[in-house]
Amino acid sequence: MIHPDTRLDFLGDSMGHGVVAKQFIPAGTIVYAKDKLEIEMDSAHPLFYDRGYREIIDKYSYIEPSGMYVISWDLAKYVNHSCSSNTLSTGYGFEIAVRDILPGEEITDDYGMLNIEHELSCSCGSDNCRGYVKPNDLEFLSEEWDERVKNALKNFNEVHQPLKHLVTIETLLELESFFLRKENYKSVSSLLLKRTNIFHTAEY
Ligand SMILES: [Zn+2]
């Protein structure tokens, strides 16, 4: 589920649709958290072998470390990539605003954290555009992302968190542990797909 203060906008022919903030969303706010309505499937699912469905799955899903594909039932699936995104995935299973997001600003995340299966060329326009988003970006960029996430988490308990009810008690305890001892931080590198969890090579 995406933060309630967002809407779907058509951003133009080249960008297509994207998600835009309706209100100010401060750094440290959970912007996306998986909820129980999300569609989840592994690569053994029969729809992986149906060309039409496979295109939808490839376009809208992200892949968890377990190998599970997740498609959001709400606007979250329309969030676009930026190499200088204003939200990032975290090792705690939710995405967080890593800087203040202004009303009318597009919400973006970094697809390099989502275990994409194929390299994507990128022309996001940010000053530090990497040019490509790669399936193994997490292996090389985790340190940089961790710094931004840790910085955002400093505000976690200070900002309004409309999605906090979706965070499990276990995860809240993990966060509490980090707030008490910085070395207990859970790195974004924990999001990296464990390749042994792919049971099938689903080609069509
Ligand atoms: Zn880029």
CA of 176 to the centre of ligand 1 (A): 33
Beta-strand relationship, 80-81 and 106-109: parallel
pTM given for the model:
0.93
Domains and CATH numbers, the chain: 6-38+73-183 (2.170.270.10)
CA of 132 to the centre of ligand 1 (A): 7
Q: Which of 189, 164, 190, 175 is nearest to 1 (CA)?
A: 164
CA–CA distance from 85 to each of 4, 48, 51, 96, 136 (Å)?
19, 30, 31, 11, 18
CA of 145 to the centre of ligand 1 (A): 15
pLDDT value at residue 187: 98
pLDDT in single tens digits along all 204 residues of the chain: 999 999 999 999 988 999 999 999 999 999 999 999 999 999 999 999 999 999 999 999 999 999 999 999 999 999 999 999 999 999 999 999 999 999 999 999 999 999 999 999 999 999 999 999 999 999 999 999 999 999 999 999 999 999 999 999 999 999 999 999 999 999 999 999 986 655 444 444
pLDDT value at residue 18: 97
